Structure 1
């Protein structure tokens, strides 16, 4: 059902198993309702700071937040394409609704090829396209604002590919913006996110409750940007969430 709805009919679906629904478990029904609400364009949670426009670099002016990654086929699947996905926020200042696009590209190609593209049509001339352009247009239709700032989170890039990915994908973002309006060049913050590293951070004093959470870990929101970071590149370690162990 999901495959047909998504790939052939182009509609959103939500499936429920009879054996689960027949138990009349309210928690199950609440979870299904939350999923349906998001899929039909609703909001399940909104940050108070977002509503009150107190999030730095996001709520002071219309800002769109992108997230992008590339999934590669398993070893041995030599003919399968890699799949690039880009999601973007579709509301402001709440930044809770989002839209996603996917695109197939060359086997094991890490650089996202379909961020921006242009083709020459005999009838229409130069035709602009690409996922960034489409999502920027969708943001403006949804909010009645064109983004004054772009924050682009990029996952799945190894350290040896930083400069290559940054050069190509930043250029694609710039071209997508310029294709919408002459002179349109909002500032772009390009953040490469890496989760798989071997650095572990510990509080200086486990006995001080102002330095640790309930599990004894460093506090959520802790940023380390000195001593153990790259000597020339701009990088940092961020502990976003409280640890569960």
Structure 2
């Protein structure tokens, strides 16, 4: 069954920017106390956060909120497929924190990270060209050889989740391309270069004015977990730890869940 989320992207950004911020002046506001984000006591720094491509929109909004409530801190995000981020960490790229779209990738970096914490979950949907002209209603439709289907590459978390979803239903798909991250899959569908692709629910929601999304029943779906961790090589360890901790606070969780992410 196809559902449309055309107002989702605007609603997410609006909600994010309306999240109450810590007040300046005497004492801390209730929101600062509730957030557990340390308020003005958190150290200021220039932080670089490596984050999964599917977090692009929501982390830009969350980062703006964090900076306003933590004067002196500025965050630069680097978004890519989780496997690419892992390669950057192993190669010693200067960064302070890492958020991947699966626990497998994070677990492979134990020597380089602090203890990870899952901050959100996600689920897969079928993204189709706007209006769903090919009338794709369920997973088995993707096996139609007349369809142009695009998937994330198998080494990418979204690609692994997609493979598990399709294999469990014994559906054979010969993709017209395999993209380096889930945003690449979404882009192919948006541009009409593919009829459909498997993406995260949040990606489809963020592009609801360009694609339609077909739900995948829970019994056939895969749930993606997003762990966050500091990097041991960070030169801003305290500030990085403060940001990672903030991602689990009510303020940050509201932003994530308003964007369609599930509770950790």
In the superposition, the TM-score normalised over structure 2's length comes to 0.23
Larger Rg: 1
More RCO (CA 8 Å, sep 6+): 2
Q: Which has the higher helix share?
A: 2
